[in-house]
Amino acid sequence: MNLATVRPHYDLAGAVDACLARGITSIAPWRDQVQKAGVAEAARIIRGNALGVTGLCRGGMFPAATAEGLAAAVEDNQRAVDEAAALGADCLVLVVGGLPDGSRDLSGARDMVLRGLEALLPYAQAQNMPLAIEPLHPMYAADRACVNTLEQALDLCDHLGDGTGVAIDVYHVWWDPKLYEQIARAGAGGRILAHHICDWLVPTRDLLTDRGMMGDGVIDLRTIRAHIEQAGYHGAQEVEIFSAQDWWKRPGADVLSTCIERYRTVC
């Protein structure tokens, strides 16, 4: 369970209790949720309950208008690596960032992402913390992530080498005509670090906070899952639903029980 799915309902400790009560034994918290609890306390809660942490969300956001800005981003990402290590996370999930303020230089932003990753990687490697690059749907290229396809993310991984991989979020990649060939490529390289699920609603009413519950949209979740398993990844499917329009307004218990029911019936 990605804890953004139940962000309005529970703090970290409350979410852990609610998940455990329903047999959910792996979570992916966000940095603000961890910091609110305190990193040491969050680690105590997670380790004390033997919870899996499928990823810490999130690092990234590298592109900056100045060299100092990029250096500050790298430094902040080092703190994120520290936090992920403290929690025993499987990986640090990276949303790499979009265009710096006032910029129209998309290739320059992509270059800064590469430089940021190159600067961060040795620090992450020293702590044995894999960096999971999450390609985001191209509608976020300007403000969140200028890495927009699995192919682009895997090209970065090939360039960077050990300690890097990808988070495959169906919401961002379901439309990609090269999806299945790139999933196979990711698997062959041992690069699949996380698999996020939700659904794409038609119509989508908000670019960020109108993700659907699995089964309510148009994503072929089973086929994508089959390709990911065929590629050798058998880890958790992480439910990540930002839904200000709908699920965030419902009781947390209903959200969790619906996630479980849909996971069993449509995933």
Beta strands in 39-149 (DSSP E): 52-53, 56-60, 92-95, 131-133
Chain positions 82 to 101 lying near Zn ion, rule: CB under 5 A, are none
Contact indicator for 187, 233 with CB cutoff of 8 Å: yes
Give the binding range for Zn ion (CB under 5 A) out of 9-17, 39-47, 61-69, 235-243.
235-243
Helix and strand numbers (H, E) in the chain are: 10, 8
Interacting residue with Zn ion among 10, 157, 240, 262 (CB under 5 A): 240
Give the β-pairing of 92-95 and 131-133. parallel
The size of the chain, in residues, is 267
Chain positions 191 to 230 lying near Zn ion, rule: CB under 5 A, are 196
Binding track over 1-40 against Zn ion, x by CB under 5 A: ----------------------------------------
189: number of Cβ within 10 Å: 15
Q: Which is nearer to Zn ion, 42 or 91 (CB)?
A: 91
For residue 28, give the DSSP letter: B
Q: Which of 124, 113, 132, 155 is nearest to 57 (CA)?
A: 132
Q: How far is the CB of 134 from Zn ion (least distance, A)?
A: 5
Q: How far is the CB of 67 from Zn ion (least distance, A)?
A: 29
Q: How far is the CB of 88 from Zn ion (least distance, A)?
A: 20
Interacting residue with Zn ion among 169, 176, 199, 216 (CB under 5 A): 169
Q: How far is the CB of 28 from Zn ion (least distance, A)?
A: 9
Does 110 sit near Zn ion (CB under 5 A)?
Answer: no
Contact indicator for 263, 237 with CB cutoff of 8 Å: yes
Measured CA to CA, the distance from residue 121 to residue 139 in angstroms comes to 27
User: How many residues contact Zn ion, by CB under 5 A?
Assistant: 3
Q: How far is the CB of 132 from Zn ion (least distance, A)?
A: 9
240 three-state secondary structure: coil
Residues near Zn ion, by CB under 5 A: 169, 196, 240
